[in-house]
């Protein structure tokens, strides 16, 4: 079941796409997952990711983190115009404000009547970076970061990681070059709370549905690891 949610903060209000599990409306509760979008906004790929999580029994919420710049961004990686606009959005995006918005979304998710009060994060690209930063500043119960671009520029925050974090890295990532990946692995690998997975031959955004770099085998492996990780830490106990 799909819907939208309005999240209100002291800085303003923004919308979020919501996909609810089949148990919604029966009185049962479920863990929530905050899905953090890429530079293309809350697009078809993010909505599909939410729908897939809902099919696995989660309340999936994807907040519009670009609301301060331009609400309702919905793009693909298929045209030069979209890629250029995505880069401009990335450059204009306030990471600190984004973390606050994600923290507000986590708080909203915990308070929903259909939530079991456990909340995880799953972020991709820019969203992967935000998943890492939010875990370091405002811990969820578990978090996953797919190919977190520019994470190497924020490794001073690694010591603040307050919950379990899984990171997926592509070995041929054109946006996270080898030296940056080595720095990420060296810094995050010191924490017993972090699991790192590397995918040989894969490029950035290998798990993006219908994306230009999509790799079905690697995406299936990464998504399977993510599902097992989330189920262990959000559904058990």
What would the two tokens of residue 136 be? 């370091």
Average pLDDT, the chain: 95
The catalytic residue among 101, 152, 173, 215 is 173
Quote the pLDDT of residue 186: 97
How far apart (Å, rounded) are the C-alpha atoms in residues 117 and 7? 17
Summarised one tens digit per residue, pLDDT across range 143-155 is 999 999 999 999 9
Which backbone phi and psi does 147 adopt, to 5 degrees? 35, 70
Summarised one tens digit per residue, pLDDT across range 20-58 is 998 766 778 999 999 999 999 999 999 999 999 999 999
Quote the pLDDT of residue 175: 95
Per-residue pLDDT for 237 more than 60? no
Task: List the domain boundaries for the chain.
Answer: 2-235
Quote the pLDDT of residue 2: 67
Pick the CATH number of 2-235 from 3.30.1600.10, 3.40.50.1820, 3.40.1390.10, 3.30.70.360: 3.40.50.1820
Quote the pLDDT of residue 25: 65
Quote the pLDDT of residue 52: 96
Q: Is 173 a catalytic residue?
A: yes
Q: Is 204 a catalytic residue?
A: yes
- Which of 30, 27, 32 lies closest to 16 in space, CA to CA? 32
């Amino acid at each position: 079941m799909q819907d939208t949610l309005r999240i209100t903060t002291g800085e303003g209000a923004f919308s979020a796409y919501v996909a609810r599990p089949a148990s919604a409306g029966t009185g049962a509760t479920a863990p929530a997952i905050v899905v953090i979008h890429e530079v293309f906004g809350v697009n078809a790929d993010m909505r599909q990711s939410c729908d897939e999580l809902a099919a696995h029994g989660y309340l999936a919420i994807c907040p519009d983190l670009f609301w301060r710049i331009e609400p309702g961004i919905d793009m693909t990686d298929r045209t030069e115009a979209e890629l250029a606009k995505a880069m401009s959005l990335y450059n204009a995006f306030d990471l600190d404000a984004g973390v606050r918005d994600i923290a507000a979304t986590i708080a909203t998710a915990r308070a929903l009547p259909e939530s079991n009060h456990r909340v995880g994060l799953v972020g991709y690209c820019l969203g992967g970076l935000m998943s890492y930063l939010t875990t370091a500043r405002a811990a969820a119960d578990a978090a996953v970061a797919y190919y977190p671009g520019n994470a190497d520029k924020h490794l001073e925050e690694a010591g603040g990681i307050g919950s379990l974090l899984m990171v997926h890295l592509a070995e041929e990532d054109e946006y996270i070059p080898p030296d940056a990946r080595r720095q990420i692995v060296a810094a995050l690998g010191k924490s017993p709370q972090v699991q790192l997975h590397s995918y040989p031959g894969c490029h950035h955004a290998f798990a993006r549905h219908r994306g230009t770099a999509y790799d079905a085998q690697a995406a299936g492996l990464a998504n399977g690891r993510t599902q097992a990780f989330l189920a262990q830490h959000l559904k058990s106990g």
